[in-house]
Amino acid sequence: MRAWQRLRKSLGPVTAHNFLIDASAAGLFAIFQALTAPFVAVVAVRRGATPLEIGLIAAAPSVAMLLSAWYARLAERWSRVGIVSWCTGIARLFLLVTGWTHGMGLYLLSFLGFNVLSAASNPAYTSLERDLYHQNWRGRLMAGVRFTLGLCQFATMLVAGQLLDRWGAGPVFSLAVVFGLGSAAVFSRMREPARPPAAERRRGPGLRATLAGDPRLRRMLVAVMLAGGGNLLVQPGYPIYQVHVLHLNNEGIALLTAMWSVAWMVGYPLWGRLCDRSRPARAVAAAFLLYLFPPLCYALGGHLGLLLVASGLQGLGDSALDCGWQNHAMRLANERIDAYAGVYFAFLGMRGTVAPLLGAVVISRWGLRPLFLGGMALVASGVVVARHLPDGPLEMRSEGPAVTPGL
Protein backbone atom coordinates (compact mmCIF):
# COMPACT_ATOMS: atom_id res chain seq x y z
CA MET A 1 0.00 0.00 0.00
CA ARG A 2 2.81 2.42 0.82
CA ALA A 3 4.50 1.61 -2.47
CA TRP A 4 1.28 2.45 -4.32
CA GLN A 5 0.95 5.72 -2.39
CA ARG A 6 4.50 6.72 -3.34
CA LEU A 7 3.84 5.81 -6.97
CA ARG A 8 0.58 7.77 -6.94
CA LYS A 9 2.38 10.82 -5.55
CA SER A 10 5.07 10.56 -8.24
CA LEU A 11 2.62 10.09 -11.09
CA GLY A 12 -0.17 12.41 -10.02
CA PRO A 13 -3.76 11.35 -9.23
CA VAL A 14 -5.05 11.28 -12.83
CA THR A 15 -2.18 9.21 -14.21
CA ALA A 16 -2.33 6.85 -11.22
CA HIS A 17 -6.09 6.38 -11.72
CA ASN A 18 -5.67 5.65 -15.41
CA PHE A 19 -2.85 3.21 -14.74
CA LEU A 20 -5.01 1.31 -12.24
CA ILE A 21 -7.94 1.18 -14.69
CA ASP A 22 -5.65 0.15 -17.57
CA ALA A 23 -4.10 -2.66 -15.52
CA SER A 24 -7.48 -3.88 -14.22
CA ALA A 25 -8.98 -3.98 -17.71
CA ALA A 26 -5.86 -5.77 -18.98
CA GLY A 27 -6.18 -8.41 -16.28
CA LEU A 28 -9.79 -9.19 -17.23
CA PHE A 29 -8.88 -9.15 -20.91
CA ALA A 30 -6.06 -11.62 -20.19
CA ILE A 31 -8.55 -14.15 -18.80
CA PHE A 32 -10.73 -13.69 -21.90
CA GLN A 33 -7.68 -14.09 -24.13
CA ALA A 34 -6.38 -17.18 -22.33
CA LEU A 35 -9.71 -18.96 -22.69
CA THR A 36 -10.02 -18.26 -26.42
CA ALA A 37 -6.90 -17.25 -28.38
CA PRO A 38 -4.80 -20.45 -27.96
CA PHE A 39 -7.72 -22.68 -28.93
CA VAL A 40 -9.52 -21.08 -31.89
CA ALA A 41 -7.19 -22.62 -34.48
CA VAL A 42 -6.81 -25.88 -32.52
CA VAL A 43 -10.59 -26.39 -32.30
CA ALA A 44 -10.80 -25.76 -36.04
CA VAL A 45 -8.05 -28.32 -36.75
CA ARG A 46 -9.87 -30.92 -34.67
CA ARG A 47 -13.06 -30.21 -36.61
CA GLY A 48 -11.26 -31.02 -39.84
CA ALA A 49 -10.24 -27.55 -41.07
CA THR A 50 -7.97 -27.46 -44.11
CA PRO A 51 -4.58 -25.67 -44.12
CA LEU A 52 -6.23 -22.82 -46.05
CA GLU A 53 -8.92 -22.44 -43.37
CA ILE A 54 -6.26 -22.42 -40.66
CA GLY A 55 -4.44 -19.78 -42.70
CA LEU A 56 -7.63 -17.70 -42.79
CA ILE A 57 -7.93 -17.95 -38.99
CA ALA A 58 -4.31 -16.82 -38.59
CA ALA A 59 -4.88 -13.98 -41.07
CA ALA A 60 -8.21 -12.78 -39.60
CA PRO A 61 -6.71 -10.28 -37.09
CA SER A 62 -4.61 -8.74 -39.86
CA VAL A 63 -7.45 -8.60 -42.40
CA ALA A 64 -9.27 -6.41 -39.91
CA MET A 65 -6.23 -4.12 -39.62
CA LEU A 66 -6.51 -3.19 -43.30
CA LEU A 67 -9.12 -0.68 -42.12
CA SER A 68 -6.69 0.92 -39.68
CA ALA A 69 -6.26 4.18 -41.62
CA TRP A 70 -10.02 4.74 -41.34
CA TYR A 71 -10.00 3.64 -37.70
CA ALA A 72 -7.27 6.21 -37.04
CA ARG A 73 -9.58 8.93 -38.42
CA LEU A 74 -12.22 7.81 -35.92
CA ALA A 75 -9.67 8.11 -33.13
CA GLU A 76 -8.98 11.69 -34.17
CA ARG A 77 -12.68 12.67 -34.08
CA TRP A 78 -14.36 10.63 -31.35
CA SER A 79 -13.76 9.71 -27.74
CA ARG A 80 -10.90 7.22 -27.79
CA VAL A 81 -12.05 5.63 -24.54
CA GLY A 82 -15.50 5.17 -26.08
CA ILE A 83 -14.06 3.57 -29.22
CA VAL A 84 -11.96 1.10 -27.21
CA SER A 85 -14.64 0.10 -24.71
CA TRP A 86 -17.62 -0.13 -27.08
CA CYS A 87 -15.86 -1.75 -30.04
CA THR A 88 -14.04 -4.36 -27.97
CA GLY A 89 -17.13 -5.12 -25.90
CA ILE A 90 -19.39 -5.71 -28.90
CA ALA A 91 -16.63 -7.61 -30.74
CA ARG A 92 -16.28 -10.17 -27.97
CA LEU A 93 -19.93 -11.16 -28.32
CA PHE A 94 -19.06 -12.66 -31.73
CA LEU A 95 -17.10 -15.40 -29.97
CA LEU A 96 -20.37 -16.77 -28.61
CA VAL A 97 -21.15 -17.77 -32.20
CA THR A 98 -17.61 -19.06 -32.72
CA GLY A 99 -17.90 -21.29 -29.66
CA TRP A 100 -21.32 -22.79 -30.37
CA THR A 101 -21.40 -23.15 -34.16
CA HIS A 102 -20.24 -26.35 -35.87
CA GLY A 103 -20.17 -25.22 -39.51
CA MET A 104 -16.71 -24.03 -40.54
CA GLY A 105 -18.11 -21.19 -42.68
CA LEU A 106 -19.95 -19.55 -39.78
CA TYR A 107 -17.00 -20.34 -37.49
CA LEU A 108 -14.68 -18.34 -39.75
CA LEU A 109 -17.16 -15.48 -40.31
CA SER A 110 -17.85 -14.97 -36.60
CA PHE A 111 -14.13 -15.00 -35.80
CA LEU A 112 -13.52 -12.46 -38.57
CA GLY A 113 -16.32 -10.26 -37.21
CA PHE A 114 -14.70 -10.36 -33.78
CA ASN A 115 -11.38 -9.23 -35.24
CA VAL A 116 -12.82 -6.49 -37.47
CA LEU A 117 -14.46 -4.75 -34.53
CA SER A 118 -11.54 -5.36 -32.17
CA ALA A 119 -9.12 -3.78 -34.64
CA ALA A 120 -11.05 -0.50 -34.45
CA SER A 121 -9.61 -0.01 -30.97
CA ASN A 122 -5.93 -0.33 -31.95
CA PRO A 123 -5.13 3.23 -33.15
CA ALA A 124 -7.33 4.72 -30.43
CA TYR A 125 -5.59 2.76 -27.67
CA THR A 126 -2.11 3.56 -28.99
CA SER A 127 -2.99 7.24 -29.16
CA LEU A 128 -4.40 7.11 -25.64
CA GLU A 129 -1.25 5.55 -24.21
CA ARG A 130 0.79 8.45 -25.51
CA ASP A 131 -1.46 10.97 -23.76
CA LEU A 132 -2.19 9.02 -20.59
CA TYR A 133 1.34 8.59 -19.29
CA HIS A 134 4.39 10.76 -18.76
CA GLN A 135 6.94 10.03 -21.46
CA ASN A 136 9.66 9.49 -18.87
CA TRP A 137 7.43 6.86 -17.18
CA ARG A 138 5.59 5.48 -20.20
CA GLY A 139 7.66 2.39 -20.94
CA ARG A 140 7.55 1.19 -17.33
CA LEU A 141 3.84 1.95 -16.89
CA MET A 142 3.08 0.06 -20.10
CA ALA A 143 5.24 -2.74 -18.72
CA GLY A 144 3.19 -2.76 -15.51
CA VAL A 145 -0.04 -3.12 -17.49
CA ARG A 146 1.43 -5.89 -19.67
CA PHE A 147 2.90 -7.63 -16.62
CA THR A 148 -0.59 -7.78 -15.14
CA LEU A 149 -1.89 -9.13 -18.42
CA GLY A 150 0.80 -11.81 -18.56
CA LEU A 151 0.30 -12.84 -14.92
CA CYS A 152 -3.47 -13.23 -15.29
CA GLN A 153 -3.08 -15.04 -18.59
CA PHE A 154 -0.56 -17.46 -17.09
CA ALA A 155 -2.80 -18.21 -14.10
CA THR A 156 -5.79 -18.83 -16.39
CA MET A 157 -3.82 -21.07 -18.75
CA LEU A 158 -3.16 -23.46 -15.86
CA VAL A 159 -6.85 -24.47 -16.01
CA ALA A 160 -7.97 -23.38 -19.50
CA GLY A 161 -6.94 -26.57 -21.28
CA GLN A 162 -8.66 -28.75 -18.66
CA LEU A 163 -11.84 -26.70 -18.95
CA LEU A 164 -11.87 -27.08 -22.72
CA ASP A 165 -11.29 -30.83 -22.48
CA ARG A 166 -14.19 -31.20 -20.01
CA TRP A 167 -16.71 -28.62 -21.19
CA GLY A 168 -16.00 -28.06 -24.88
CA ALA A 169 -15.58 -24.83 -26.84
CA GLY A 170 -19.10 -23.43 -26.38
CA PRO A 171 -19.18 -23.12 -22.56
CA VAL A 172 -15.51 -22.07 -22.33
CA PHE A 173 -15.86 -19.34 -24.97
CA SER A 174 -19.07 -18.15 -23.27
CA LEU A 175 -17.25 -17.85 -19.95
CA ALA A 176 -14.50 -15.92 -21.72
CA VAL A 177 -17.02 -13.44 -23.14
CA VAL A 178 -18.18 -12.56 -19.60
CA PHE A 179 -14.63 -11.55 -18.67
CA GLY A 180 -14.19 -9.76 -22.02
CA LEU A 181 -17.29 -7.63 -21.41
CA GLY A 182 -16.08 -6.90 -17.89
CA SER A 183 -12.78 -5.66 -19.29
CA ALA A 184 -14.56 -3.28 -21.68
CA ALA A 185 -16.78 -1.98 -18.86
CA VAL A 186 -13.78 -1.30 -16.59
CA PHE A 187 -11.92 0.48 -19.40
CA SER A 188 -14.87 2.85 -19.88
CA ARG A 189 -13.92 4.41 -16.50
CA MET A 190 -10.67 5.73 -17.97
CA ARG A 191 -10.23 9.51 -17.69
CA GLU A 192 -9.37 10.59 -21.20
CA PRO A 193 -7.00 13.58 -21.49
CA ALA A 194 -8.82 16.63 -22.78
CA ARG A 195 -8.46 17.49 -26.47
CA PRO A 196 -9.85 20.38 -28.52
CA PRO A 197 -13.35 19.75 -29.92
CA ALA A 198 -13.32 17.70 -33.13
CA ALA A 199 -14.43 20.70 -35.19
CA GLU A 200 -11.38 22.69 -34.02
CA ARG A 201 -8.86 19.90 -34.49
CA ARG A 202 -6.65 20.08 -37.54
CA ARG A 203 -7.14 17.14 -39.86
CA GLY A 204 -4.11 14.89 -39.68
CA PRO A 205 -2.17 13.68 -42.72
CA GLY A 206 -3.43 10.67 -44.63
CA LEU A 207 -1.61 7.36 -45.02
CA ARG A 208 0.28 8.40 -48.16
CA ALA A 209 1.33 11.80 -46.78
CA THR A 210 2.47 10.27 -43.50
CA LEU A 211 4.61 7.73 -45.33
CA ALA A 212 6.07 10.30 -47.72
CA GLY A 213 6.92 12.69 -44.91
CA ASP A 214 9.07 10.45 -42.71
CA PRO A 215 11.80 8.12 -44.06
CA ARG A 216 12.38 6.83 -40.52
CA LEU A 217 8.83 5.47 -40.46
CA ARG A 218 9.34 3.84 -43.86
CA ARG A 219 12.47 2.06 -42.64
CA MET A 220 10.67 0.75 -39.57
CA LEU A 221 7.81 -0.52 -41.71
CA VAL A 222 10.19 -2.36 -44.05
CA ALA A 223 11.81 -4.10 -41.07
CA VAL A 224 8.43 -4.98 -39.55
CA MET A 225 7.06 -6.25 -42.87
CA LEU A 226 10.04 -8.57 -43.37
CA ALA A 227 10.66 -9.92 -39.86
CA GLY A 228 7.04 -9.83 -38.76
CA GLY A 229 6.01 -11.37 -42.08
CA GLY A 230 8.35 -14.30 -41.47
CA ASN A 231 6.95 -14.68 -37.97
CA LEU A 232 3.39 -14.76 -39.30
CA LEU A 233 4.25 -17.00 -42.26
CA VAL A 234 4.87 -19.91 -39.89
CA GLN A 235 1.80 -19.36 -37.66
CA PRO A 236 -0.54 -21.78 -39.53
CA GLY A 237 2.08 -24.50 -39.12
CA TYR A 238 2.18 -24.37 -35.33
CA PRO A 239 -1.33 -25.73 -34.49
CA ILE A 240 -1.11 -28.27 -37.31
CA TYR A 241 2.22 -29.53 -35.93
CA GLN A 242 0.91 -29.57 -32.36
CA VAL A 243 -2.22 -31.57 -33.22
CA HIS A 244 -1.19 -33.83 -36.12
CA VAL A 245 2.51 -34.45 -35.39
CA LEU A 246 2.83 -34.33 -31.60
CA HIS A 247 -0.85 -35.19 -30.90
CA LEU A 248 -1.02 -32.73 -27.99
CA ASN A 249 -4.23 -32.46 -25.98
CA ASN A 250 -5.64 -29.12 -24.85
CA GLU A 251 -3.65 -29.27 -21.61
CA GLY A 252 -0.40 -29.55 -23.57
CA ILE A 253 -1.36 -26.63 -25.81
CA ALA A 254 -2.33 -24.61 -22.73
CA LEU A 255 1.10 -25.35 -21.27
CA LEU A 256 2.74 -23.86 -24.37
CA THR A 257 0.66 -20.69 -24.00
CA ALA A 258 1.46 -20.53 -20.28
CA MET A 259 5.17 -20.57 -21.14
CA TRP A 260 4.55 -17.74 -23.62
CA SER A 261 2.77 -15.76 -20.86
CA VAL A 262 5.63 -16.21 -18.38
CA ALA A 263 8.17 -15.01 -20.95
CA TRP A 264 5.95 -12.03 -21.87
CA MET A 265 5.53 -11.18 -18.19
CA VAL A 266 9.25 -11.37 -17.45
CA GLY A 267 10.33 -9.63 -20.65
CA TYR A 268 8.05 -6.61 -20.73
CA PRO A 269 9.53 -4.75 -17.71
CA LEU A 270 12.99 -5.19 -19.24
CA TRP A 271 11.89 -3.77 -22.59
CA GLY A 272 9.97 -0.95 -20.87
CA ARG A 273 13.09 0.10 -18.97
CA LEU A 274 15.12 -0.11 -22.18
CA CYS A 275 12.63 2.12 -24.01
CA ASP A 276 12.62 4.72 -21.22
CA ARG A 277 16.38 4.88 -20.75
CA SER A 278 17.71 4.13 -24.23
CA ARG A 279 16.37 3.66 -27.76
CA PRO A 280 13.04 1.87 -28.37
CA ALA A 281 14.45 0.79 -31.74
CA ARG A 282 16.76 -1.56 -29.84
CA ALA A 283 13.75 -3.40 -28.44
CA VAL A 284 12.34 -3.74 -31.99
CA ALA A 285 15.62 -5.19 -33.25
CA ALA A 286 15.78 -7.58 -30.26
CA ALA A 287 12.26 -8.81 -31.06
CA PHE A 288 13.24 -9.71 -34.61
CA LEU A 289 16.36 -11.52 -33.42
CA LEU A 290 14.23 -13.58 -31.00
CA TYR A 291 11.77 -14.40 -33.80
CA LEU A 292 14.50 -16.43 -35.52
CA PHE A 293 14.37 -19.20 -32.95
CA PRO A 294 10.75 -20.48 -32.64
CA PRO A 295 10.55 -21.72 -36.26
CA LEU A 296 13.99 -23.29 -35.80
CA CYS A 297 12.72 -25.18 -32.74
CA TYR A 298 9.72 -26.44 -34.72
CA ALA A 299 11.92 -27.39 -37.67
CA LEU A 300 14.08 -29.48 -35.32
CA GLY A 301 10.89 -30.65 -33.57
CA GLY A 302 10.12 -33.97 -32.03
CA HIS A 303 9.19 -33.27 -28.41
CA LEU A 304 7.23 -30.91 -26.18
CA GLY A 305 10.31 -29.57 -24.37
CA LEU A 306 11.70 -27.90 -27.47
CA LEU A 307 8.30 -26.40 -28.25
CA LEU A 308 8.20 -24.93 -24.73
CA VAL A 309 11.52 -23.20 -25.47
CA ALA A 310 10.00 -21.91 -28.72
CA SER A 311 6.96 -20.53 -26.87
CA GLY A 312 9.17 -18.78 -24.31
CA LEU A 313 11.30 -17.12 -27.00
CA GLN A 314 8.14 -16.15 -28.89
CA GLY A 315 6.78 -14.48 -25.75
CA LEU A 316 10.00 -12.52 -25.23
CA GLY A 317 9.95 -11.41 -28.86
CA ASP A 318 6.28 -10.42 -28.78
CA SER A 319 6.74 -8.32 -25.64
CA ALA A 320 9.82 -6.64 -27.14
CA LEU A 321 8.00 -5.74 -30.36
CA ASP A 322 4.81 -4.60 -28.62
CA CYS A 323 6.71 -2.31 -26.25
CA GLY A 324 9.35 -1.25 -28.76
CA TRP A 325 7.25 -0.31 -31.79
CA GLN A 326 4.77 1.76 -29.77
CA ASN A 327 7.48 3.76 -28.01
CA HIS A 328 9.44 4.03 -31.26
CA ALA A 329 6.38 5.31 -33.15
CA MET A 330 5.57 7.76 -30.36
CA ARG A 331 9.08 9.21 -30.60
CA LEU A 332 8.78 9.57 -34.37
CA ALA A 333 5.21 10.85 -34.45
CA ASN A 334 5.17 13.44 -31.66
CA GLU A 335 1.61 14.86 -31.89
CA ARG A 336 0.69 12.83 -35.01
CA ILE A 337 0.44 9.49 -33.22
CA ASP A 338 -3.10 8.79 -34.55
CA ALA A 339 -1.81 8.92 -38.14
CA TYR A 340 1.36 6.94 -37.38
CA ALA A 341 -0.57 4.23 -35.54
CA GLY A 342 -3.04 4.03 -38.43
CA VAL A 343 -0.21 3.59 -40.94
CA TYR A 344 1.51 0.97 -38.80
CA PHE A 345 -1.62 -1.10 -38.27
CA ALA A 346 -2.61 -0.81 -41.95
CA PHE A 347 0.74 -2.27 -42.99
CA LEU A 348 0.40 -4.84 -40.23
CA GLY A 349 -2.88 -5.81 -41.84
CA MET A 350 -1.33 -6.19 -45.30
CA ARG A 351 1.53 -8.29 -43.95
CA GLY A 352 -0.64 -10.41 -41.71
CA THR A 353 -3.23 -11.08 -44.41
CA VAL A 354 -0.76 -12.30 -47.01
CA ALA A 355 1.79 -14.15 -44.83
CA PRO A 356 -0.46 -16.76 -43.13
CA LEU A 357 -2.26 -17.52 -46.40
CA LEU A 358 1.09 -17.93 -48.13
CA GLY A 359 2.12 -20.18 -45.24
CA ALA A 360 -0.97 -22.34 -45.84
CA VAL A 361 0.03 -22.72 -49.51
CA VAL A 362 3.57 -23.73 -48.51
CA ILE A 363 2.20 -26.37 -46.12
CA SER A 364 -0.09 -27.82 -48.80
CA ARG A 365 2.67 -28.04 -51.42
CA TRP A 366 5.91 -28.67 -49.53
CA GLY A 367 5.06 -29.48 -45.91
CA LEU A 368 5.90 -28.05 -42.49
CA ARG A 369 9.70 -28.07 -42.37
CA PRO A 370 10.17 -25.94 -45.54
CA LEU A 371 7.61 -23.53 -44.04
CA PHE A 372 9.60 -23.12 -40.82
CA LEU A 373 12.93 -22.69 -42.62
CA GLY A 374 11.43 -20.17 -45.07
CA GLY A 375 10.01 -18.16 -42.18
CA MET A 376 13.44 -18.05 -40.54
CA ALA A 377 15.00 -16.69 -43.75
CA LEU A 378 12.41 -13.92 -43.99
CA VAL A 379 12.89 -12.95 -40.33
CA ALA A 380 16.66 -12.83 -40.86
CA SER A 381 16.24 -10.25 -43.64
CA GLY A 382 14.20 -8.08 -41.26
CA VAL A 383 16.92 -8.35 -38.61
CA VAL A 384 19.41 -6.86 -41.09
CA VAL A 385 17.12 -3.88 -41.83
CA ALA A 386 16.36 -3.31 -38.13
CA ARG A 387 20.00 -3.01 -37.08
CA HIS A 388 20.10 0.79 -37.56
CA LEU A 389 16.56 2.03 -37.01
CA PRO A 390 16.67 5.77 -36.12
CA ASP A 391 14.77 7.15 -33.14
CA GLY A 392 13.04 10.46 -32.72
CA PRO A 393 13.96 12.87 -29.90
CA LEU A 394 12.93 12.13 -26.32
CA GLU A 395 10.60 14.87 -25.04
CA MET A 396 9.43 15.08 -21.45
CA ARG A 397 6.00 16.42 -20.56
CA SER A 398 3.97 16.88 -17.41
CA GLU A 399 0.57 15.53 -16.60
CA GLY A 400 -2.20 17.51 -18.22
CA PRO A 401 -5.84 18.00 -17.33
CA ALA A 402 -8.21 15.13 -17.86
CA VAL A 403 -11.92 14.78 -18.42
CA THR A 404 -14.20 11.81 -18.12
CA PRO A 405 -15.93 11.28 -21.49
CA GLY A 406 -19.61 10.64 -21.70
CA LEU A 407 -20.16 7.09 -22.94
**How confident is the model over 108-130, as a mean pLDDT?**
87
pLDDT digits (tens, 9 = 90+) for 244-258: 888 888 888 889 988
Between CA 345 and CA 348 the distance in angstroms is: 5
Confidence of residue 392 (pLDDT cuts 50, 70, 90): low
pLDDT digits (tens, 9 = 90+) for 46-93: 888 888 898 889 888 877 777 777 787 777 778 889 999 999 999 999
Instruction: Please tell me the predicted confidence (pLDDT) of residue 296.
Output: 94
Confidence of residue 199 (pLDDT cuts 50, 70, 90): very low
Instruction: Please tell me the predicted confidence (pLDDT) of residue 359.
Output: 92
Q: Which range has the top average pLDDT, 204-218, 327-341, 376-390?
A: 376-390
Instruction: Please tell me the predicted confidence (pLDDT) of residue 396.
Output: 34
Instruction: Please tell me the predicted confidence (pLDDT) of residue 11.
Output: 67
Asked if the 2-191+206-391 domain carries CATH number 1.10.580.10, the reply is no
Confidence of residue 329 (pLDDT cuts 50, 70, 90): confident
Neighbours of 115 (CB within 10 A): 19
pLDDT at 94 over 70: yes
**How confident is the model over 241-245, as a mean pLDDT?**
89
Instruction: Please tell me the predicted confidence (pLDDT) of residue 345.
Output: 77
Query: Do 356 and 53 meet the contact criterion of CB atoms below 8 Å apart?
Result: no
Instruction: Please tell me the predicted confidence (pLDDT) of residue 200.
Output: 47
pLDDT digits (tens, 9 = 90+) for 258-295: 899 889 888 888 888 888 777 788 888 899 999 999 99
Instruction: Please tell me the predicted confidence (pLDDT) of residue 207.
Output: 63
Residue of 374 and 132 predicted with greater confidence: 374
Q: How many residues does the chain have?
A: 407
**How confident is the model over 308-315, as a mean pLDDT?**
94
Instruction: Please tell me the predicted confidence (pLDDT) of residue 402.
Output: 34
Instruction: Please tell me the predicted confidence (pLDDT) of residue 312.
Output: 94
Instruction: Please tell me the predicted confidence (pLDDT) of residue 400.
Output: 38
Confidence of residue 203 (pLDDT cuts 50, 70, 90): low
Mean pLDDT taken over the chain: 83
Domain extents for the chain? 2-191+206-391
